[in-house]
C-alpha cells in the first residue's frame, strides 16, 4: 500500500529581484515501512522537498499525501530529526523527550512510561535526570531520536542527522536508527550527501539533479543488502559496485 505519495511537486522561491525554481515535477511513492534516501549535489532541493513533506513549506504546485491525507493536515503524523539535536539545555533529558507530547496535550502516564522505556532501548538507560551538556554528541542524538519517536509519528524525516558526528559514532547510530525504525515499522525519508550511508540504510535511493531539482535516477537496493545492518552492508559484495555506479552518476551531474 502506498503510504507517502508525492505528486507533481514544483516549487519556486520568489524574492524582490528574482524567482528561483528549487524543484520541478517531483513524483514518488513510498510504501508503509520503507526507508528511502534523497541524494544529490548541494542545491538540488532535497531539504526543500523534506520541508514540503513536513508541511513547513507550501509547494507552488503539486501535493503530498500521507495515508491518503494531505500532509498539511497530517503534521502530527510526521517526526523530524535534524543534523543538530536541538535539545533544550536547561531541561533534563526526560523533559526534552516528553516535550512534543506535552505540546500536543497527549502526555499520559502510559506514554511517559513508553518514552522512558524507549530511552533504555536505544542505549540511554538512567539518563532521564541528566542535562544535555552531560551527554556526548552521539548520546544527544539518541535522545533526539527518542524525542522524535515518543510522539509516535508514522513518517520520520531525517535531514543529515549523523553528519556532525565522528565516523565511529555515526556507524553505530546508523545501525541503531535502522533497527529501531524497522522494529517499529516506521516509514522514513533520509536526506544525505553520503553515498555509503544512503546505500547502507535505504530500500531505495532517489538521485536528484540540480537547478532545478529533478529526480535523475532511482536505485532499488537488492534484498541481499536490505536485510543486513548498515554496518554489515558495507562489506557486501554488491556495495562497492553500487557505490561506484552512484558516484559516476553524481560526477556527471556536477560537470
| Model pLDDT for residues 6-50, shown as the tens digit of each residue | 999 999 988 888 888 999 999 999 999 999 999 999 889 999 999
What percent of the chain shows pLDDT beyond 70? 99
CATH class of the domain defined by 2-84+153-254: alpha beta
Q: Phi, psi at residue 75, to the nearest 5°?
A: -65, -30
pLDDT at 232: 95
pLDDT score of 151 more than 90: no
Q: Are 177 and 145 in contact (CB under 8 A)?
A: yes
Q: Phi, psi at residue 11, to the nearest 5°?
A: -140, 130
| Burial class, 12, CB count within 10 angstroms (exposed 0-12 / middle 13-18 / buried 19+) | middle
Q: List, in order, residues 6 or more apart from 244 with CB less than 8 Å away.
A: none
Q: Are 115 and 97 in contact (CB under 8 A)?
A: yes
Distance (Å, rounded) from C-alpha 8 to C-alpha 11? 10
How does pLDDT run across 72-120, given as a tens digit for each residue? 777 778 999 888 889 999 999 999 999 988 888 888 999 899 989 889 8
pLDDT at 71: 80
Distance (Å, rounded) from C-alpha 189 to C-alpha 198? 10
Q: Are 75 and 55 in contact (CB under 8 A)?
A: yes
This prediction has a pTM of 0.92
Q: How confident is residue 65, by pLDDT bands cut at 50, 70 and 90? A: very high
Residue 31 neighbours by CB distance under 10 Å: 13
**Cis peptide bond N-terminal to 73, omega within 30:** no
pLDDT at 1: 62
pLDDT at 147: 92
pLDDT score of 224 more than 70: yes
Amino acid at each position: 500500500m502506498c503510504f507517502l505519495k508525492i505528486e507533481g511537486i514544483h516549487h519556486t522561491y520568489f524574492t524582490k529581484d528574482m524567482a528561483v525554481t528549487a524543484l520541478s515535477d517531483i513524483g514518488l511513492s513510498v510504501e508503509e515501512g520503507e526507508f528511502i534516501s534523497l541524494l544529490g549535489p548541494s542545491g538540488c532541493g532535497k531539504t526543500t522537498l523534506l520541508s514540503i513533506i513536513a508541511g513547513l513549506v507550501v509547494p507552488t504546485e503539486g501535493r503530498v499525501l500521507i495515508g491518503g491525507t494531505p500532509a498539511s493536515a497530517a503534521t502530527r503524523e510526521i517526526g523530524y530529526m535534524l543534523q543538530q539535536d536541538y535539545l533544550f539545555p536547561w531541561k533534563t533529558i526526560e523533559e526534552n523527550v516528553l516535550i512534543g507530547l506535552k505540546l500536543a496535550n497527549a502526555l499520559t502516564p502510559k506514554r511517559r512510561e513508553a518514552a522512558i522505556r524507549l530511552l533504555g532501548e536505544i542505549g540511554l538507560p538512567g539518563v532521564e535526570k541528566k542535562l544535555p551538556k552531560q551527554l556526548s554528541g552521539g548520546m544527544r542524538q539518541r535522545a533526539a531520536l527518542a524525542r522524535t519517536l515518543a510522539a509516535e509519528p508514522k513518517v520520520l524525516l531525517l535531514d543529515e542527522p549523523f553528519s556532525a558526528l565522528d565516523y565511529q559514532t555515526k556507524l553505530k547510530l546508523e545501525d541503531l536508527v535502522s533497527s529501531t525504525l524497522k522494529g517499529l515499522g516506521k516509514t522514513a525519508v533520509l536526506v544525505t550527501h553520503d553515498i555509503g550511508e544512503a546505500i547502507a540504510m535505504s530500500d531505495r535511493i532517489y538521485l536528484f539533479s540540480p537547478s532545478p531539482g529533478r529526480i535523475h535516477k532511482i536505485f532499488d537496493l537488492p534484498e541481499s543488502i536490505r536485510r543486513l545492518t548498515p554496518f554489515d552492508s558495507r562489506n557486501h559484495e554488491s556495495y562497492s559496485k553500487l557505490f561506484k555506479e552512484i558516484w559516476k552518476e553524481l560526477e556527471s551531474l556536477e560537470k
